Structure 1
Amino acid sequence: MKRFYVASSFKNIDTVRYVSNELKNKGYIQTYDWTQNERVSTVEDLKEIGQKERNAVLEADFIIVLLPAGKGSHIEFGIALGQGKRIYLYSQDDEVNKFETTSTFYHLPEVKKCIGTIAELIAAVTE
């Protein structure tokens, strides 16, 4: 279980890169680095990136979802869930357990919730 994909929103791009680099330094393989994409301006660009991201989720042994995340990240979450992959759901605070902000899918057994620091997330993934 060494291949991974990190899903999140553009506002978390630095954290996505940090987590990805930490895992790669520990011998893990990133299936796709969406942070290298520029902002797109056409539907064709969206289609191409969507195919790459879908394939990356399918090729990954596990995915990490860094909250807050957008609709694309939640679709990637759903693809991984449908494929029976391990999902690490990261939140700096306890929003994943607050009834007003949670999702039913966050609480399934395939989802390992990681609440706290990025260092704690990396430790949970690599243990």
Structure 2
Amino acid sequence: MDFFVAGSWRNRDAVAEVVDALDGAGAQCYSFVRAQYDDEALAFAVPGGADAARLGEPGIRSLFEQDLAALRSADRFVLVLPAGAAAHIETGIAYGLGKSCYAVGPADRSETLYRLFEAMCTDPADLVRHLAVADARRVR
């Protein structure tokens, strides 16, 4: 898989736009907007549905394993901003695994750790343009 696209459930429309843009560029993507949710996981994902006591339930555990396997198998990582703590944790995992990391969207504030991103792009089209240029440089 080419990309793991992370972001906030509250910002899922922007995440879907990034996934669609990457699809249009011929990339294969995994994102929570495409994840397989059973009833337990879907209830957990809605705003206000997060309950730490439910983390051990089979549906939640399965979703976690699905997400982590997709993150490990992806070549590159994209964080769609603004995003919450969980998506930032996924960024740290991706960076620690040696993935090329990119951010798309407005940052709430400047963070020194955002230096781990190879590029901070304004929108999905900017990301696709940046990737095309970066990929062309690698071929040379």
TM-score band by shorter chain is 0.7 to 0.9
Whose Rg is larger? 2
2:19 corresponds in structure 1 to 20
RMSD of aligned alpha carbons: 2.1
Does the CA-based 8 Å contact 1:19-1:118 persist in structure 2?
Answer: yes
3-state DSSP class of the match of 1:75?
A: helix
What TM-score do the two structures reach when normalised by structure 2?
Answer: 0.72
Give per-residue Cα distances to partners, 1:75-102, cap 9 Å, x unaligned: 2111111111100022325x453xxxx1
1:10 corresponds in structure 2 to 9
1:47 corresponds in structure 2 to 61
What TM-score do the two structures reach when normalised by structure 1?
Answer: 0.78
Unpaired segments of 5 or more residues in structure 2? Answer: 134-140
Partner AA of 2:89 in structure 1: I
Higher helix content, 1 or 2: 2
1:107 corresponds in structure 2 to 115
Further displaced range: 116-125 or 55-64: 116-125
3-state DSSP class of the match of 1:6?
A: strand
Does the CA-based 8 Å contact 2:17-2:124 persist in structure 1?
Answer: no
Corresponding residue to 1:92 among 89, 106, 114: 106
Does the CA-based 8 Å contact 2:94-2:101 persist in structure 1?
Answer: yes
Distance (Å, rounded) in 1 between the aligned partners of 2:25 and 2:122: 21
3-state DSSP class of the match of 1:55?
A: helix
Distance (Å, rounded) in 2 between the aligned partners of 1:75 and 1:7: 10
Distance (Å, rounded) in 2 between the aligned partners of 1:39 and 1:33: 18
